[in-house]
Structure formats: structure tokens, C-alpha cells
Amino acid sequence: MAKFYILVGPPGAGKGTQAVIIAEKCGIPHISSGNIFRENLQNETELGKKAKAFMEKGELVPDDITIGMVTDRLSQPDCEQGSLLDGFPRTPAQAEALSAFLEQHGKKINAVPLIDVPSDELIERLSGRWTCKAEGHVYHPKFKPPKKEGFCDLDDSELYQREDDKRETVEQRIRVYNQQTAPLIEYYEKKGLLRKIDGSQKIEDVTSDLLKVVEC
């Protein structure tokens, strides 16, 4: 039986960090809409060109572009048995489109873990976030230092600071989350799928709480 999980939480909550760990442990693909957009930006594809200005401003890329991109990814054979979604859906229209897509394929969402972290902690995390060029793995000098400074533990690629992790863009992204994505909390709560996780704990403790929700 295929299993689909959606990680919800503000920028900097730790969705990407946790998704990499859980996807590896459980052997399910990690689908990060942000990572797919950044790959398209790097490769200067048509999709990347359309998304660029929105991403730079910390705004959401329009729903039609985003939904098409993620449903294409979910149509790949490796998602047949499920996936761990990170950063999608981010609007009610995306959530509806995802449900419709899964239903068409005889599949459903199993649970929606919400990783909750107060805003002041988000800013400290994001202003120190270092991201790997190859696959988007993330580090932090205080909370998750890489073994070799400036390089990814997992693939040895170089680490960089994302342009949209500068303070004013982070503040805009948190506003956008509160306005456009936070309504999904109630949406999934009503469906009985929401599971709240305290994201201000240490990385390992968040993982063990998540593993009580995500069944491998």
C-alpha cells in the first residue's frame, strides 16, 4: 500500500533536514518543491525562468506552474509506493490538486506532520543555513555543523548561502507562510490528518517524534 506524507511548517522549521533522514530510513523518495525549483534555476530551464522572480522576492510561484511540476514528479515510477512531500502543497489550491491527483491514481495521504517552531528561532536558523550545491542538504554552524567546513557531509559538494535566506526575504517568506500556507493546518486538521510535532527540539528528537507518525 502506497504511503504519502506531507511535511508542513514555516520556512526554517526543519522540513528538509528531517525529510532527508526519514526518506533514507524508510526508503521513500523525498520530493522537495523548493529543490526542484532551484535545480531548474541552475539549469536555466523555461520553468526556472518563470519561477525566478517569485523565488527571489520570497513569494510563492503561481499555483499552475507549481502543481504541474510536482504532479509530473509524482508520476515517476519511484513514487508508485509513496513519497515524503516537503514544501508542497503550500496553498489550498495546491492541496486540492494533490488530493485530486492521488485520488485519480487510487492513492491517498496517510498523515500530515506539522513541524512547529516559533518565528524568532526560524530567523536564527535561516540566517545561518548553509545549503549544498548538489542536492540541497542543509547545515548550520551552531545547530548542525558539517564535518568539513564549507562542504557537504553526504556528497562533498560545496556549501552556499541561499540568496533568499537574507533577513528581509526571510521575513517576507514567513509572512507568506502565515497568509497563504497556514490555512492548510485547519484544512488537514478537519480531514483528521494533521499531527503536531514540536520542531524546536534537537534534530534527533524531532526525528524520533516524526517516526511515530511516519510508518516505514
Beta strands per DSSP E along 8-158:
30-32, 82-86, 109-116, 130-132, 138-139
Distance from C-alpha of 178 to C-alpha of 173, rounded to nearest angstrom: 9
- Catalytic entry in 73, 107, 125, 129: 129
Distance from C-alpha of 77 to C-alpha of 105, rounded to nearest angstrom: 12
Q: Does 211 help bind ligand ADP (rule: CB under 6 A)?
A: no
Pick the stretch among 13-21, 104-112, 145-153, 187-195 that binds ligand ADP (CB under 6 A): 13-21
Distance from C-alpha of 7 to C-alpha of 19, rounded to nearest angstrom: 8
Distance from C-alpha of 93 to C-alpha of 158, rounded to nearest angstrom: 36
Compose the 189-208 pattern: x for residues touching ligand ADP by CB under 6 A, - for all others: -------------xx--x--
- Catalytic entry in 50, 52, 162, 196: 162
Which residues lie across from 144 on neighbouring strands? 140
Point out the residue whose Cβ comes nearest to ligand ADP. 34
Which residues touch 101 (CB under 8 Å, ≥6 apart)?
Answer: 71, 74
Least distance in Å: CB of 70 to ligand ADP? 7
In the window 30-49, what residues touch ligand ADP (CB under 6 A)?
Answer: 33-34, 37
Q: Is 167 a catalytic residue?
A: no
Residue 211 · residue 25 · CB < 8 Å? yes
In the window 118-157, what residues touch ligand ADP (CB under 6 A)?
Answer: 125-126, 128-129, 138-140, 143-144
Q: Which three cell numbers stand for residue 104?
A: 485519480
Contact set with ligand ADP (CB under 6 A):
9, 11-17, 33-34, 37, 54-55, 58-61, 66, 87-88, 90, 94, 125-126, 128-129, 138-140, 143-144, 164, 173, 202-203, 206
